[in-house]
Amino acid sequence: MTDTDLARQIAATCRLTGRFTLRSGRVADEYFDKYRFEADPALLDRVAAGLAGLVPPGTEVLAGLELGGIPVVTALARHVGLPCAFVRKTAKAYGTARLAEGAEVAGRRVLVVEDVVTSGGQVVISTGQLRELGAEITDALCVIDRSEGGAEALAERGVRLHALFARADLTA
């Protein structure tokens, strides 16, 4: 399957039109319902295969962000053979009381993995939290970059955003 074919399939599966309020608070007339491609095992596997080539050399841990980044990071790990950390929005108040579950992030080169990036808000927050835990983070990876400032917000914090597809790739 070519990148163009994969982009068409993702767009056909998850691109919705209407009026939507995004996590950032912005109102959009287009929405990428990532759960539609994440819930399709064959499509999710093709997405992960495409993402595998974007994982920077030297990456030691893949950190998937709650909730949409979790299925993406799990599928990606199967393709690249790296361990995963599952990153909560806030540390749980019971059990281990950890922010990042799974693989240890302290002292390791961590790639933050998200499904869709708009303003980059959650990636910025989670990157800061993971850095406080001792993770070395210079890169983030997403399936769809809505091209609405997320890459720039991350760059201001020393993080390069790599995207399988930009919004324009899915609306062409």
Q: Which residues participate in the annotated binding site for 5-phospho-alpha-D-ribose 1-diphosphate?
A: 23, 88-89, 92, 114-122
Running DSSP on this structure, what letter comes out for residue 68? T
Annotation: binding site for orotate: 118, 146
Peptide bond before residue 67 is cis, with ω within 30 degrees of 0: yes
Nearest partner of 130 among 72, 71, 89, 160, judged by Cα: 89
Give the C-alpha separation, 154 to 77, whole Å.
23
Length of the chain as a residue count? 172
Extract the annotated binding site: 23, 88-89, 92, 114-122, 146
Residues 49, 54: Cα–Cα separation, whole Å: 10
The two tokens of residue 109 are: 């080169």
CA–CA separation, 147 vs 20, rounded Å?
17
